[in-house]
Amino acid sequence: MKQASRIQRQMEETQQQLALRTVEASSGGGAVKVVARCDGSVASLRIDPQAVNPAETALLEDLVLSAVNTALTQARETASAEMAKLTGGMNFPGLG
């Protein structure tokens, strides 16, 4: 029981650390950059002004979606890897 309590405490600490850890992804050759936190939230979004063309908003939307999805995937993978270190690869419902 002590070990389970220790693991739970470590997992909570890791989740707090993951909320501060970030990953960055880009699309369109760097025209759109997204920074995501490893807790699954987006920290920032940067769009190069040269990528903004009112006639091509659909392209810009696609670039934003691509960068956001890539960043969030990287964040989930990082979080899962960190949690797996604590759980020895065992899956626990509601984590990671």
Per-residue pLDDT for the chain (96 aa), expressed as one digit of tens each?
777 788 888 888 888 888 889 999 999 999 999 999 988 899 999 999 998 999 999 999 999 999 999 999 999 999 888 888 877 766 655 554
CATH number, domain with residue 77: 3.30.1310.10
Domain carrying residue 67: 2-87
Positive or negative, the CA dihedral 38, 40, 46, 47 is positive
Residue type for position 23? V
For residue 11, being part of any structural domain is answered with yes
Task: Give the predicted TM-score (pTM) of the model.
Answer: 0.72
Please report the beta strands in 1-96, taking only residues with DSSP state E, as ranges in sequence order: 22-27, 32-37, 42-47
Domain count, the chain: 1
For residue 94, being part of any structural domain is answered with no
Which token pair is 91? 């899956």
Q: Which residue in 79, 75, 92 sits closest to 8, CA to CA?
A: 92
For residue 22, being part of any structural domain is answered with yes
pLDDT confidence of residue 93:
56
